[in-house]
A and B are shown apart, each in its own frame.
Chain A
Amino acid sequence: MKKFLSGNEAFAEGIRLARPEVISAYPITPQTIVVERLSEMVEVGSLKAEYIHVESEHSALSCAIGASAAGARAFTATSSQGLLYMAECLYYASGGRFPIVMMNADRSTALPWNIYGDQRDSLSQLDSGWIQAYAENAQEALDLALMSYKIAEDKRVSTPFMANLDGFVLTHTYETVDIPEREQADRFLPPYETDNRLDFDNPKNMAFSAGPDYNYIFKYKEHEGVLAVRQVINETEKEFAEIFGRSYTGLIEKYLTDDADYIIVTLGSIAGLCRETADDLRSRGVRAGVLRIRYMRPFPNQEIADTLKNAKAYAVLEKDVSFGNEGTVFTNVNSALKKASVDVKGYNYIGGLGGRNISSADIEKIFSDMENGAETVNFIGIGGENNG
């Protein structure tokens, strides 16, 4: 069934179809629509879940962890300040291998206060052990809601999943989406079964301590779990295509990159404008391409190196900065290339902070900088980090 929905609403529909058993809800702009729609679905009965009005984000994730520990499929959502408030629990959930799904509306973090979208919140938590995916449009968001549980709950993975939607730009803009049928969703995503739960027949002591003798083994296995997504995502997306008729391309999405001289690497909704700009440049004879990173964790090292290795230059366009260094996505991409011994000139463009608009002119300038040279790290609207 096709409906005209915002990114938040589309994601909520996907969650409805995923049949979470426990939802813990705390509101924060621009995520609020998700928890509101879910409460309406519970009220009319289209979603059978325990809906818990927690009193903070820390409690939201703590509650979801408790529910997951009981063997229930759990969901929560947050953004920005809330994500940071629950940060302790992020590491807790991933270390405990609880396959919780959480939607994060990407939003700037204070100070200064700002409710608009950038990617500083989620990118600051790349080390937390969560799988991190970035949706570009409302359909992908809806589909991600379903796929996230399938991937997270796979026994090779058993890792919580953060689904990121650009604040306002994606969460609040409207598109036509196709909402799958209940029967299709049930075929794709069976109920959550696990041994990692409190069990009266086989009682457990959970979330224990492990000292220097064992701790590193747990952490290594956790790392393996996130890496396992590389295999699981291919199987998941193949099955998704068979049931729902929509295909996705794994950890990255390439647009005109095979023969591109200049490639923009980016995350989320801005990729659409990048592709339009690339089309425009192509019509003027510039071989432009766009690489959209769909998953920041596990990081698609090999795929990125393979895509960029024949380019003359690449530029990472991201909505975050690691103060005192550069953008985090740029750091990750650089490392991928170095590990693969790929030597291509790279540039970093930090833009969209606090919801600042990125125009097609800005993106054209990035392509032209790749052609003509520029400082390595640049702030859109200000200039290079050294000369302003």
Chain B
Amino acid sequence: MRPYIREKKDFAFNEVPVDTSYEAGYLVSVNSGWRSIRPVVANEKCVGCEQCYLYCPDGVISINNGKAEIDYDFCKGCGICAKICKLGAIGMEAERK
């Protein structure tokens, strides 16, 4: 289970959790707007070594069917994954609108 975006994003007066605690992993906003560049995985080069998965500060990379996959909702485009990949399987491209 990872934190995920919820339907309810606003809280009315009587819905505010008075004891300053609330459900763990409750998200209301994505981070995709932070990017000016985005990582793109070249599947033919990726061998699923999982280095990018381990080193991503935001945890947005997972391995699916042996290939790295990126959650673009929460990727900030830092480029660490592209730097880390020894096989050059990740390239940074300009963020498309």
Contacts and interface: CB of A to CB of B under 8 A. Distances in A.
A and B touch in the complex (CB under 8 A): yes
B19 A96 contact: yes
Contact of A205 (B13, B18, B24): B24
Interface string A238-281: 00000000000000000000000000000000000000000000
A207 B16 contact: no
Contacts of A97: 18-20
Interface size on B, as a range, is: 10 to 19
A196 interface: yes
Interface in B15-54: 16, 18-26
Nearest to B12: A217
B16 A217 contact: yes
Interface size on A, as a range, is: 10 to 19
Interface in A192-234: 196, 202-208, 210, 214, 217-218, 221-222, 225
Contacts of B18: 97, 158, 218, 221-222, 225
A111 to B, nearest CB: 35
A225 B23 CA distance: 22
Interface in A325-378: none
A20 interface: no
A230 B49 CA distance: 64
Contact of B23 (A196, A204, A214): A204
A95 interface: yes
A207 B21 contact: yes
Contacts of A217: 13, 16
B22 A196 contact: no
Contacts of A210: 20
B16 A96 contact: no
Contact of B19 (A196, A202, A203): A196
A95 B20 contact: yes
Contacts of B21: 96, 196, 204-208
- In the A-B complex, list the 4 residue pairs whose CB atoms are closest, starting with the nearest: A206-B21, A203-B24, A97-B19, A221-B18
23 contacts: A96-B19, A96-B20, A96-B21, A97-B20, A196-B19, A196-B21, A203-B23, A203-B25, A205-B22, A205-B23, A205-B24, A205-B25, A205-B26, A206-B20, A207-B20, A207-B21, A208-B20, A210-B20, A217-B13, A218-B20, A221-B18, A222-B18, A225-B18
